[in-house]
Amino acid sequence: LTATFFSLSSSGSEVGGALRTVMRVSRVSARLYLSDLDSALNLGVLTSRNVTLIINATGRRVVSYPALDGLQVLHVPVQDQPHALLSPYFDPVGERIQQNRAGSTLVHCTAGRSRSPALVMAYLMRFEGLSLGQAYERVLECRPFIRPNAGFWRQLIEYERNQSGQNTVRMVRTAAGVLPEALLDLDENLRGPCASR
């Protein structure tokens, strides 16, 4: 059993454990999942979803994934900090997800709330033609607790402008600080429904 690694530079009861795993793994589309680190280390999660590519968006390069034939891991070494540069990875990660025809892709960070959702939203904009607002709504419907940090939002807004020449989300000043308006006013109309788990 072997896993191929790439790097980009610039428990409770059995029933309770199964429930926690379901809550930690979110299906964005037929072959694309979002999760936290613990779920990405779970052999059952990987095999039941036919995961052949893991996008590791944690700061940790050394992660002991289950040994599976053909499993590839792409490491995105970015910390979850507003000043961290995630946008240089939007295209390489999106291209790897798009090229993975052997099975499913699991994109994870530590909690599955900031880095990995931001990468998936960039993928949805480029390869599924969604606006940033639509990509956010799609991922939010699948994983209701996402919260990319303000710096990642700014990078996604710039990425959308570079992709389409327009912006569907803007940063606004609130009592809680500068936030993307998508967090303040969610549109109920999604381009397409989130795939069921």
Going by pLDDT thresholds of 50, 70 and 90, the confidence category of residue 26 is: very high
Instruction: List all residues 6 or more positions away from 137 whose beta carbon is below 8 Å from its beta carbon.
Output: 182, 186, 187, 190
Tens-digit pLDDT profile for residues 145-191: 999 999 999 999 999 999 999 999 988 888 877 778 876 654 433 33
Q: What is the dihedral of CA 59, 63, 68, 72, to 10 degrees?
A: 30
- 142 catalytic per annotation: no
Q: Under CATH, which number does the domain 3-183 receive?
A: 3.90.190.10
User: Can you give the residue ranges of every domain in the chain?
Assistant: 3-183
| Average pLDDT score over residue span 119-127 | 99
Catalytic one of 109, 118, 122, 146: 109
